[in-house]
Amino acid sequence: MRLSPFVTYAVICCMSVNLLSVIVEEHFPFDFPTHQGLGAALKRKTYDYVIVGAGTAGMTIAARLAEDPNVRVAVVEAGIDYDLSAVNKLLVDTPASDTVGCGSKPEDNMTDAIDWRFTTEPQLGANSRTVRYARGKTIGGSSARNFMIYQRASKGSIDKWAELTGDPDWTFEKRYSDYQKSVSFTAPKHDLRQELPAAQYDRLAFTQSYGPVQVSYPNMPQPFSKYMQLSLNEKGIPTIQDFNGGNLSGVQYASTTIDPKNSHRSSSRAFFDAARLRRNLVVHTSAMVQRISFDESTPPRAQGVEFTNTLNGSADKLFAKKEVIVSAGTFQSPQLLMVSGIGPADQLTANKIRIRVANPNVGQGMQDHIFFGPTYPVHSIQTLTRIAANPDYATSQYLNFTRRKLGPLTNNAADMIAFERFNSSKLKQLRASSLSSYPSDWPHVEYLSAAGLVGDFSDLHMLNLLAGTDTGKEFVTILAALVAPQSRGTVKIASNDASVPPLIDPGWLTDPVDQRIAVEAFKRTREFFSAQAMQPILDGQEYVPGPSVSSDDQILDWIKNNLMTGYTAPRNFVL
């Protein structure tokens, strides 16, 4: 029996680490405050700010607020600190392990200790499938498990924000320095990467980069990526210098949130580690917020939060003198508002929740981008299929990563990306004129390299293990993602208990425009594989879905059966 690569890594890791350090992870009732004054800090009940969620936004806000030594900040996080577990730390730190635990089926469960294990409601746009939705449940939230691509929004999209708010201070130009303040940038190490064409970047996008989040490039590019870049060039998508200066139209290696000093993921802990020694900041983990508490004023004012210890079930409260900041993620932020009495009146009444503020917008307007794409067999290059199907190779590359910070495990698996905006004639042909209302630099489709078999996303490592073993070949995929989705979804509550998972209905592909754009994007990925630049590595005809899937209806049906998302759900308007 062959082990999947990250099972192999876990075994190696456990053999090399004291057992006590492995089992300690779940046994701190409320985890360390960020400094060593444990007793006094844990007894404190009142803070200036109480933040719900230690994810990407929550820890950033906490660290910035705690820069003022006169302000006391508490963060309440339901998950554990992955850094206290050898196995979970390995999975988070290793860039290539981002493909573990992101599958569409519950069987892809190696990261369940730091995942919420959500599933969607049956999706009409996914042929009535119920899809597992990976979401990080740990310090860093989903940034502890995402694909580490670092890019900024287009200038027009941020300027649109300023237009909608009526505040000119929100323009891209006014906020450009803020983007730079949070990161420290390291240019690609071309002597290690040896890539041609070489990764480019815009120095002007990082002129003030001294922040805690490390932005760099993997020490090894995926060998497939240069073929993707040249093929997209051949089919009309130009090379762009960088995705961080306000322009996205083109193809290029993506910068990543990888620490160049050790090739570990950076974004998940950057602000946590930067602030953990401040005596005015405390982070409670294994602490599930059940509701926000309010006073009896009109309108009601948030006073604090009630939470439970997820290890022993005990209850506790924290109070906020200034603000309670809800940063619990796309799904649980609206859920927490609703179980606390803020939301659509019909949902609150049905779940026997006292209505504090009736707001029909809470949990509405969810937008999510889906991924899908064809897979082809290749020769002459190494892909992640080899890691999955060859345990000896996987072990050697694990050692290459841990000892030398080299090899494919330093790579985030999707290091080449591209954005495309369809012109007006194409939109007219696709009956997608609604997309014309977006800013002129807002793309419609993103393309991502995936050096392996993707298929239905059920379990990426098992898919590659079986395909690689059965065929003796390696595989590559170009994924297409909808980045101007018209479909809308909802988040609703199933109970007045915040521990009961919310009802997640992304509404994928329920808008006909999205369906037509998806089919067109899939056809584009096939065009890329037909380019002359791709031919030197192709080893036969399309493997998934195969040439028999050819008509628009067949393509759409295949997309519905195979679409997936990952740690995204970028927008959920909670008003």
Cα separation, 78 vs 564, whole angstroms: 26
CA distance 201 to 39: 48
Q: Which amino acid is at 531?
A: A
Per-residue pLDDT of 246-292, as tens digits, reads 999 999 999 999 999 999 999 999 999 999 889 999 999 999 999 99
Statement: residue 319 has pLDDT above 90: yes
- What is the pTM assigned to this prediction? 0.92
Residue 8 pLDDT: 40
Helix (H, G, I), strand (E, B) or coil at 137: coil
Return the pLDDT at 452. 98
pLDDT band at 311 (very low <50, low <70, confident <90, very high): very high
Q: Domains, the chain, ranges and CATH? A: 1-146+267-330 (3.50.50.60), 190-198+221-264+367-565 (3.30.560.10)
Beta strand 183-185 with 213-215 is parallel
Cα(460)–Cα(447) distance, integer angstroms: 18
Long-range contacts of 195-202 (CB under 8 A, 24+ apart): 195/221, 195/225, 195/226, 195/253, 196/226, 197/226, 197/229, 197/230, 197/239, 199/252, 199/253, 200/239, 200/241, 200/242, 200/252, 200/253, 201/241, 201/242, 201/244, 201/255, 202/241, 202/242, 202/244, 202/245
Report pLDDT for 41: 53
Bridge partner residues of 229 (DSSP): none
Question: What does the alpha-carbon distance between residue 394 and residue 438 come to, in Å, rounded to a whole number?
Answer: 45
d(CA 393, CA 8): 11
Q: What is the pLDDT of residue 5?
A: 43
The answer to whether 555 and 549 have CB atoms below 8 angstroms apart is yes
Cis peptide, bond prior to residue 299, ω within 30 of zero: yes
pLDDT in tens, 364-384: 999 999 999 999 999 999 999
434-444 tens-digit pLDDT: 999 999 999 99
CB atoms within 10 A of CB 292: 24
Could you report the per-residue pLDDT of 491-502, keeping only the tens digit for each?
A: 999 999 999 999
**CB burial of residue 33 (10 Å; 0-12, 13-18, 19+):** buried
**Residue 478 β-bridge partners:** 449
Task: Name which of 100-109, 189-198, 246-255, 318-327 the model is least confident about.
Answer: 100-109
> Which residues, including other chains, have CB under 8 Å from residue 553's CB and lie 6 or more apart?
none
For the stretch 148-168, pLDDT in tens is 999 999 999 999 999 999 999
Sign of the CA dihedral running 210, 213, 215, 219: positive
Q: Token match 């295949």: residue?
A: 558
**Token couple for 48:** 């200036």
Which burial class, exposed, middle or buried, applies to 48 when counting CB atoms under 10 A from its CB (0-12, 13-18, 19+)? middle
DSSP 246: S
**Which range has the worst mean pLDDT, 26-35, 127-136, 192-201, 473-482?**
26-35
Q: Are 410 and 95 in contact (CB under 8 A)?
A: yes
* Two structure tokens written together for 8: 């192999």
φ/ψ of 437, rounded to 5, equals -75, -15
Looking up tokens 């480019």, which residue turns up?
Answer: 200
Q: What is the mean pLDDT of residues 566-573?
A: 55
pLDDT confidence bin for 101, thresholds 50/70/90: confident
Q: Decide if pLDDT at 4 tops 70.
A: no
Task: Check residues 406 and 110 and name the one with the higher pLDDT.
Answer: 406
Least confident of 116-120, 195-199, 273-277, 292-296: 273-277
Q: Which amino acid is at 310?
A: T
- 311 phi/psi in degrees, rounded to 5: -90, -40
Residues with Cβ within 8 Å of residue 48, at least 6 apart in sequence: 65, 71, 72, 73, 320, 321, 322, 323
Instruction: For residue 565, give the nearest of 497, 486, 506 by alpha carbon.
Output: 506
Helix (H) or strand (E) holding 12: helix 5-16
List CB contacts of 421: < 8 A, sequence separation 6 or more. 249, 441, 442, 443, 444
Q: What is residue 29's DSSP assignment?
A: S
42: pLDDT confidence band, cut at 50, 70 and 90? low
Give the pLDDT of residue 208: 85
14 has pLDDT over 80: no
Name the DSSP letter for residue 95: G
Model confidence at 111, in pLDDT bands (50, 70, 90)?
confident
Query: Which token pair is 108?
Result: 């892809």
Q: Does residue 37 surpass a pLDDT of 80?
A: no
Give the per-residue pLDDT at 43: 67
Helices 223-234 and 512-530 cross at an angle (nearest 10°) of 110
Residue 574 has pLDDT above 70, yes or no: no
Judge whether 240 and 247 are in contact, CB under 8 Å. yes
Count H helices and E strands in the chain, helices first: 18, 25
Contact at 8 Å (CB) between 121 and 489?
A: no
Q: How far apart are the first and last CA of the chain?
A: 52
| Cβ atoms of 413 and 98 closer than 8 Å | yes
Distance, in Å, from the CA atom of 264 to the CA atom of 150, rounded to the nearest integer, reads: 15
Q: Is 386 helix (H, G, I), strand (E, B) or coil?
A: helix
User: Which pLDDT band holds residue 108 (cuts at 50, 70, 90)?
Assistant: confident
Distance from C-alpha of 421 to C-alpha of 351, rounded to nearest angstrom: 44
On the question of pLDDT at 130 being above 70, the answer is: yes
Residue 183 phi, psi (nearest 5): -125, 160
pLDDT score of 29 more than 80: no
- Categorize the per-residue pLDDT at 569 as very low, low, confident or very high, splitting at 50, 70 and 90: low
d(CA 392, CA 397): 9
Burial class (CB in 10 A: 0-12, 13-18, 19+), 162: middle
Identify any residues that bridge with 544 across adjacent strands, giving them in sequence order: 375
Q: What is the pLDDT of residue 460?
A: 93
Helix segments in 390-541, DSSP class H: 391-404, 424-429, 460-471, 512-530
Cα–Cα distance between 13 and 10 in angstroms, integer? 5
Residue 233 has pLDDT above 60, yes or no: yes
